[in-house]
Structure 1
Amino acid sequence: MKQLVIAIDGYSSCGKSTTAKAVASLLHYAYVDTGAMYRAVTLHLLEQGISFDDMARIEQVLREISITFRRHRHTGRNELFLNGVNCEDDIRQMRISNSVSEVSVIPMVRHAMVAQQQQMGRKRGVVMDGRDIGTTVFPDAEVKIFMTADVELRARRRQDELAATGEQVPLEDIIENLRKRDYLDSTRAESPLRRAADAVLLDTTHITIAEQVDFVLDRVSSALFMAGWD
């Protein structure tokens, strides 16, 4: 069976990653969390004390850092490694969430990450989630989904994720962070967050993860049927 590129874009905490991972697992596709890549760059800049407007240092960093994904052999969790070090938990901290949109608007950062993402998906058979997959990274993706949800629900989901790692953050702070990120992501000049013309809208406010997965799989089946690949 011919393999597809599945692009899942949308706002933070809509269930993109959870849905994308489940779909990838069921289809035996590779999974790439592109948002985690921008979080990794943000983490590195913060830990190295590099200003977000120091373009010379950032350009040097982008030439030197290595970002890879590995699946944990026991838990099956997809984990990000930055220069060989597992940073999956570190990149999910609120301090990274507060800065990642500022880093992701930097053109050279986006160019570097998009190039890596395109390389990761060049053999197809991949599920990618992010904000510009269906518009910039893989505009020819056979399946494009754009996810959204009520901002307060998104904030509660994010709060639960943070609490699971021991980080307690007031709901109001998370809502403010999400709104700020939505604005920055949607208005940036380089690859802004927007729904591709041929992307199917999926509002996850009132549906379960299982229903989200089924929705995407239905789109996959339709794409295969229409192309005569089933």
Structure 2
Amino acid sequence: MIIAIDGTTASGKGTIAKRLAARYGLPHMDTGRLYRAVAVAAMKEGVPLDAAGPLADIARALDLGSFTEAELRSAEAGKAASIVAAIPSVRQALFELQRAFATREGGALLDGRDIGTVIAPDADVKLWVDADVTQRAVRRWKELIGQGEDIRLETVVEQLKARDARDQGRADAPAAMAADAILIDTTDLTIDAAVERAMAAVEAALAKGKTA
């Protein structure tokens, strides 16, 4: 069984993905971490975020184990990841890695922004997780404050709006809800309620005999 979970930043898709992966015993890949890692590595090495060739080289040699979670989850890493993710050569360098993970024997669960449309268009279950940008900003702001960052809520709102525009407007593999995906709007949902809705979608697919 392949489960593809796409959506916007701070919509809850990451938590939903982890819960579903545990529930169904599936290996999980947070593909956003790949792009964040490329961006962080580039900034450490002084590589410009628009240098397609060097960035693709970084992507091909990527070792996620060399990064701390704090590095990958910073506001700076998120902003930079959105920039490098718009570069076709970077996306191509990471495509095979993601595709191989998605098609592994026994199934897998991946979350990102183009899983259901590009990486695993043949996924058994596709979800698109979203929420009002202000609500998402509050969630992300609290997370960043908890990590010790000094940042205003208004700044986070503007950052999320800018990231949404970049992700959805890029020419290569734009973030988009697959035609056969199920929308889960978490604006007014607790995370437990959102997970229940996601699980219901998976169970419905299983009941129809859609999944292997």
TM-score range, shorter chain: over 0.9
Change over 3 Å in CA distance of 1:45–1:229 after alignment to 2? closer
Cα deviation code 1:10-53 (max 9, x no counterpart) = 11100010111011111111111011110000000111000123
Name the CA distance, whole Å, in 1 between partners of 2:6 and 2:210.
Answer: 26
Opposite residue 32 of structure 1, the aligned amino acid is: M
Name the CA distance, whole Å, in 1 between partners of 2:157 and 2:81.
Answer: 16
Give the root-mean-square deviation of aligned CA atoms.
1.5
Other structure's SS at 2:138 match:
helix
1:40 aligns with one of 37, 42, 56: 37
Q: In structure 2, what is the equivalent of residue 108 of structure 1?
A: 89
1:119 aligns with one of 89, 92, 100: 100
Task: Please list every run of 5 or more consecutive structure 1 residues that lacks an aligned counterpart in the other structure.
Answer: 68-80
Name the CA distance, whole Å, in 1 between partners of 2:58 and 2:12.
Answer: 31
Other structure's SS at 1:146 match:
strand
Opposite residue 118 of structure 1, the aligned amino acid is: R
1:26 aligns with one of 5, 20, 23: 23
Tell whether the 8 Å contact from 1:97 to 1:177 is kept in structure 2 after alignment: no
Change over 3 Å in CA distance of 1:114–1:56 after alignment to 2? closer
Question: Is residue 209 of structure 1 aligned with residue 209 of structure 2?
Answer: no
TM-score (norm 2): 0.94
Report deviation, 1:61. 2.1
Q: In structure 2, what is the equivalent of residue 73 of structure 1?
A: none
Report deviation, 1:208. 1.1
Higher percent of residues as strand: 1
Tell whether the 8 Å contact from 1:159 to 1:168 is kept in structure 2 after alignment: no
Cα deviation code 1:201-224 (max 9, x no counterpart) = 111001111111111111111111
Higher percent of residues as helix: 2
Name the CA distance, whole Å, in 1 between partners of 2:53 and 2:37.
Answer: 18
Other structure's SS at 2:29 match:
strand
TM-score (norm 1): 0.87
Identity of aligned residues (%): 37
Q: In structure 1, what is the equivalent of residue 57 of structure 2?
A: 60
Question: Is residue 168 of structure 1 aligned with residue 142 of structure 2?
Answer: no
Deviating 4+ runs (over 4 angstroms): none
Tell whether the 8 Å contact from 1:104 to 1:110 is kept in structure 2 after alignment: yes
Name the CA distance, whole Å, in 2 between partners of 1:95 and 1:193.
Answer: 20
Name the CA distance, whole Å, in 1 between partners of 2:97 and 2:60.
Answer: 12
Report deviation, 1:165. 1.2
Cα deviation code 1:130-159 (max 9, x no counterpart) = 100000000010101111101111001001
